[in-house]
Amino acid sequence: MSTDLARQLSALRETVAHLHGELTRYQLVAWTAGNVSARVPGQDLMVIKPSGVDYDDLTADTMVVCDLSGAVVDGGGSPSSDTAAHAYVYRAMPEVGGVVHTHSSYATAWAARGEAIPCWLTAQADEFGGEIPIGPFALIGGDDIGKGIVSTLAGHRSPAVLMRNHGVFTIGKDARAAVKAAVMCEDVARTAHLARALGRPTTIAPADVDALYDRYQNVYGQRPVAG
Report pLDDT digits (tens) over 137-167.
999 999 999 999 999 999 999 999 999 999 9
* The CATH number, out of the four listed (3.30.200.20, 2.40.50.140, 3.30.1330.40, 3.40.225.10), of the domain defined by the range 3-218: 3.40.225.10
**Per-residue model confidence as pLDDT tens digits over 33-85:** 999 999 999 999 999 999 999 999 999 999 999 999 999 999 989 999 999 99
- Angular region, 42: left φ>0, alpha ψ -120 to 50, beta rest: left
Answer yes or no: are the C-beta atoms of 163 and 148 closer than 8 Å: yes
Looking at residue 227, its pLDDT comes to 64
Q: What is the pTM of this model?
A: 0.97
Report the run of H or E that residue 47 belongs to, with start and end: strand 45-48
- Angular region, 130: left φ>0, alpha ψ -120 to 50, beta rest: left
